[in-house]
A and B are shown apart, each in its own frame.
Chain A
């Protein structure tokens, strides 16, 4: 048994006192991420590098203290919320770009680097980092690795898995090791691949070797306006069936458009039923004709208008609306519960209908904004957590929507991860044997159950009743046992 005071002192001995957070009000701001889950850690610590990180992990293992890695806390599945309290390891002191190697088109970065800063730095060499989550101004590369993040431009180029060559990690057991390297296709087991998307349950990433790709020679951005979500969804399939792979193909429904327009004034038609935001890129002689046929497909399927961005500024504005759309829902309701289902593109229309039927049945408002090209839905259920019982209704509706996705032959997460919120749905998709093998991977990296507990895999006891433990928390002064 150890007291909080001792814990803090030992963390401070490793990382320096200013890099340990332990006061009540300072911990309060580490109880959340982008979701509605909440739980406060006993302490938050900010190591400077891999060796300090490893020392912290070993200390926590020695004390039997749960560990939760945290990037920017923009996660949408509760991944960085310390479900069983313990210690949160933040990466905000590790946010440098260590190297950009334009000849080999790679960059080596620290995990706390905000995603967008890599593309900004690489632009000087005519390169960029392809995965562009809508949260890219804030979310970290380390968090992206953990969630195998995607983004609008991953339709043609692929998600984080396709753009990370190597990782330096501190394993859950406290070892420092490299997975993969500076070149693709390293021989041996692809542990790099296993680590990407592991949601901080196998260890902490401390360095990332990222692949950079050339900036496209030309870009056409189209905004197709529809009266109904059905027409827009049908168009998505038609465009892919016609053999095109747009760089991005994003859908927003009426509610989302209204919020985005209110918050970001990006020139969206707030009275439309749905829009598709389409981007085509490549050599001008290819892009021009492609854009023309994409436009024709849209019009044929009922688009009332197809606008084209005429300048970089107009393009930026169209994307600003899409990238801010989720946050902009704050204009409509104080909370949202975001889902992240994937369905086969051919089932988009049906599943969208189920989503609206389910939310209607629960008397809830639901907005939709999603990566249509990938069939990656993001229904956002809107509510006010201060209304008694609201959260329970939302969670119930969310579960039904996820069920509908799975029944349509889809899956539980496109890019936000399973985290805390969806681990209980895993048995819908995986057999006990499947899950058991996944569990064994954890053991390989030294996770005996306390490393980001209650995430990703269905957990045993001790992981329930998160948000409701304020009382116990208030009682825990510095000398309480933790």
Chain B
């Protein structure tokens, strides 16, 4: 057999996946990076063509080629509209694994990124220690004062990160912590706690548990579970992502549904079967695990309980890419919001276009990320919502920054928080 053009042949994108693309071009306008640049090389069709050219030995895997894949948000909007069923998400994950393994100009930052993802994000205790000061700062008085003064006091990259911090981070909620149980529970479900989610968005977990409890479902933050591995897979570290997947599969046995309120984690976990398909010990268990995974909105909508609650506000729902495009869940969150008395759901232009958060993308490609955030800010300024609702922690953070950029006074909430607040106001009979 001829030697592979890829540095990590075991995880190379498959020729079958690549040749599925008939270059019809129907996906290009769904792509945020094409919308911003107008360049074919920054479109899904172009990125697939480049992968195919490398795969077929037409061009080498140069840094310039890699840069086009690096600019991909992995939002998978292209995949959702492709009539040919091109598995773009799988292609780009495998391509990124090659990029990560290839010699590169920016090897040092790449190594650092991998180190942090492996040793901070995936280690609950280290992560907690690192996030603690940020959480303190996020809700602090000096921050509010500085914001009022409008002073520019941080270098731009740090400032961008700072602007993303939620205004009222709740207490953390970690695996093993106990959750509120207001009422009689008839069934149980696992609450997936995640990494950053649990540290910065404990309130979302508590809201999730409350909403479920009102529907007779007791959520348990089972101990031993950890980071889902999506950030690692998107960064091309498939080996480590597989380790994390195995850890979660071991930690969460049984057949209770696994409720995920972070769209990115949910999408990754629904694909554990694919991630571990070549692992003889885990392949079957991974597929069974994946079948138990439910997004919060998907699970609650399927319970089909009568509408309750009161939420008098103009609400702009923004699709999380990995909910709308990867999990194809668009209707359920909207239906849940629409059913609440007083909730005026408005559709803003580009609601399903990526906000630019995209995991750690906003740190790695700040320019493109900011361009996409500005599009959201413009849409918010025009439609002036009171509340922006989404379904993913990264997006929530990006919308905090977008709201600030738009100069409007909207709150940013997770769907679970909005439902919980509405139901607290007018508790279910």
Task: List the interface of chain A (C-beta within 8 A of B).
Answer: 21, 23-26, 28-30, 32-34, 46, 72-74, 90, 92-93, 95, 112, 114, 116, 135, 137-139, 260, 262-264, 324-331, 334-336, 384, 386, 470
Inter-subunit contact A29/B41 (CB<8 Å): yes
Inter-subunit contact B53/A331 (CB<8 Å): no
Q: Please, which residues of chain A bring their CB within 8 A of the CB of B49?
A: 28-29, 32
Inter-subunit contact A73/B25 (CB<8 Å): yes
Q: Please, which residues of chain B bring their CB within 8 A of the CB of A33?
A: 23, 25
Inter-subunit contact A384/B83 (CB<8 Å): no
Inter-subunit contact B84/A263 (CB<8 Å): yes
Name the residue among A34, A112, A138 with the largest chain B CB count within 10 angstroms.
Answer: A138
A34-B22, A73-B25, A326-B83 known; 5 new pairs, CB 8 Å cut-off, are A114-B29, A138-B28, A328-B85, A334-B22, A384-B19
Q: Please, which residues of chain B bring their CB within 8 A of the CB of A92?
A: 38-39
Inter-subunit contact A74/B25 (CB<8 Å): yes
> How many pairs, one residue from A and one from B, have CB atoms within 8 Å of each other in the complex?
108
Chain B contacts with A in 43-94, Cβ cutoff 8 A = 43, 45-46, 49-50, 53, 58-59, 62, 64-65, 68, 81-86
Q: Can you name 18 A-B residue pairings with CB atoms under 8 Å?
A: A21-B41, A28-B49, A28-B58, A29-B41, A29-B45, A33-B25, A93-B38, A135-B24, A138-B29, A263-B82, A324-B26, A327-B22, A327-B84, A328-B84, A329-B84, A330-B83, A331-B84, A336-B22
Bound together, the chains give a CA A120 to CA B130 distance in angstroms of 47
Bound together, the chains give a CA A410 to CA B29 distance in angstroms of 35
Is B21 close to A, CB under 8 A? yes
Inter-subunit contact A137/B64 (CB<8 Å): no
A327-B24, A330-B20, A334-B22 known; A21+B39 contact, CB < 8 A? yes
Q: Please, which residues of chain A bring their CB within 8 A of the CB of B26?
A: 74, 135, 137-138, 324, 327
Shortest beta-carbon distance, A365 to chain B, in Å?
A: 14
Shortest beta-carbon distance, B77 to chain A, in Å?
A: 12
Shortest beta-carbon distance, B26 to chain A, in Å?
A: 5
Inter-subunit contact A32/B38 (CB<8 Å): no
Q: Please, which residues of chain B bring their CB within 8 A of the CB of A334?
A: 19-20, 22
Q: Please, which residues of chain B bring their CB within 8 A of the CB of A24?
A: 59
Bound together, the chains give a CA A23 to CA B65 distance in angstroms of 10
Q: Please, which residues of chain A bring their CB within 8 A of the CB of B64?
A: 23, 25-26
Shortest beta-carbon distance, B11 to chain A, in Å?
A: 22
Is B40 close to A, CB under 8 A? yes
Inter-subunit contact B85/A330 (CB<8 Å): yes
Inter-subunit contact A330/B22 (CB<8 Å): yes
A25-B53, A327-B83, A330-B83 known; A72+B21 contact, CB < 8 A? no
Inter-subunit contact A74/B62 (CB<8 Å): no
Nearest-neighbor residue (CB-CB) of A335 within chain B: B22
Shortest beta-carbon distance, B69 to chain A, in Å?
A: 11
Name the residue among B22, B81, B83 with the largest chain A CB count within 10 angstroms.
Answer: B83
Bound together, the chains give a CA A92 to CA B82 distance in angstroms of 21
Shortest beta-carbon distance, B353 to chain A, in Å?
A: 13
A138-B29, A328-B84 known; A470+B40 contact, CB < 8 A? no
Shortest beta-carbon distance, A87 to chain B, in Å?
A: 15
Shortest beta-carbon distance, B383 to chain A, in Å?
A: 14
Shortest beta-carbon distance, B169 to chain A, in Å?
A: 39
Bound together, the chains give a CA A359 to CA B19 distance in angstroms of 23
Inter-subunit contact B22/A28 (CB<8 Å): no
Task: List the interface of chain B (C-beta within 8 A of A).
Answer: 19-30, 38-41, 43, 45-46, 49-50, 53, 58-59, 62, 64-65, 68, 81-86
Listed from nearest, the 5 A-B pairs whose CB atoms lie closest are: A330-B84, A324-B83, A92-B38, A327-B83, A334-B19
Nearest-neighbor residue (CB-CB) of B65 within chain A: A25
Nearest-neighbor residue (CB-CB) of A72 within chain B: B25
Q: Please, which residues of chain B bring their CB within 8 A of the CB of A470?
A: 58
Q: Please, which residues of chain A bring their CB within 8 A of the CB of B23?
A: 32-34
Shortest beta-carbon distance, A84 to chain B, in Å?
A: 20
Bound together, the chains give a CA A470 to CA B38 distance in angstroms of 26
Q: Please, which residues of chain A bring their CB within 8 A of the CB of B39?
A: 21, 26, 92
Q: Please, which residues of chain B bring their CB within 8 A of the CB of A324?
A: 26, 83
Bound together, the chains give a CA A336 to CA B21 distance in angstroms of 11
Q: Please, which residues of chain B bring their CB within 8 A of the CB of A262?
A: 85
Inter-subunit contact A328/B83 (CB<8 Å): yes
Q: Please, which residues of chain A bring their CB within 8 A of the CB of B86?
A: 330
Q: Please, which residues of chain B bring their CB within 8 A of the CB of A46?
A: 38
Shortest beta-carbon distance, A373 to chain B, in Å?
A: 22
Nearest-neighbor residue (CB-CB) of B68 within chain A: A25
Bound together, the chains give a CA A92 to CA B43 distance in angstroms of 12
Bound together, the chains give a CA A34 to CA B62 distance in angstroms of 26
Bound together, the chains give a CA A328 to CA B38 distance in angstroms of 25
Nearest-neighbor residue (CB-CB) of A32 within chain B: B23
Bound together, the chains give a CA A112 to CA B53 distance in angstroms of 27
Inter-subunit contact B38/A331 (CB<8 Å): no
Shortest beta-carbon distance, A275 to chain B, in Å?
A: 17
Nearest-neighbor residue (CB-CB) of B331 within chain A: A313
Inter-subunit contact B83/A264 (CB<8 Å): yes
Bound together, the chains give a CA A358 to CA B82 distance in angstroms of 30
Inter-subunit contact A137/B29 (CB<8 Å): yes
Nearest-neighbor residue (CB-CB) of B61 within chain A: A25
Bound together, the chains give a CA A74 to CA B59 distance in angstroms of 24
Shortest beta-carbon distance, B41 to chain A, in Å?
A: 5
A93-B38, A138-B25, A329-B84 known; A28+B53 contact, CB < 8 A? yes
Shortest beta-carbon distance, B128 to chain A, in Å?
A: 43
Bound together, the chains give a CA A66 to CA B51 distance in angstroms of 29
Q: Please, which residues of chain A bring their CB within 8 A of the CB of B62?
A: 25
Q: Please, which residues of chain A bring their CB within 8 A of the CB of B46?
A: 29
Nearest-neighbor residue (CB-CB) of A120 within chain B: B349
Bound together, the chains give a CA A71 to CA B62 distance in angstroms of 28
Nearest-neighbor residue (CB-CB) of A73 within chain B: B25
Bound together, the chains give a CA A456 to CA B159 distance in angstroms of 56
Inter-subunit contact B24/A34 (CB<8 Å): yes
Inter-subunit contact A330/B21 (CB<8 Å): yes
Q: Please, which residues of chain B bring their CB within 8 A of the CB of A330?
A: 20-22, 24, 83-86
Nearest-neighbor residue (CB-CB) of B56 within chain A: A386
Shortest beta-carbon distance, A162 to chain B, in Å?
A: 25
Bound together, the chains give a CA A304 to CA B6 distance in angstroms of 52
Nearest-neighbor residue (CB-CB) of A386 within chain B: B19
Inter-subunit contact A25/B85 (CB<8 Å): no
Bound together, the chains give a CA A1 to CA B64 distance in angstroms of 29
Q: Please, which residues of chain B bring their CB within 8 A of the CB of A30?
A: 40
Q: Please, which residues of chain A bring their CB within 8 A of the CB of B22?
A: 34, 327, 329-330, 334-336
Bound together, the chains give a CA A329 to CA B41 distance in angstroms of 24
Q: Please, which residues of chain A bring their CB within 8 A of the CB of B40?
A: 29-30, 73
Bound together, the chains give a CA A327 to CA B68 distance in angstroms of 24
Nearest-neighbor residue (CB-CB) of B49 within chain A: A29
Bound together, the chains give a CA A458 to CA B416 distance in angstroms of 64
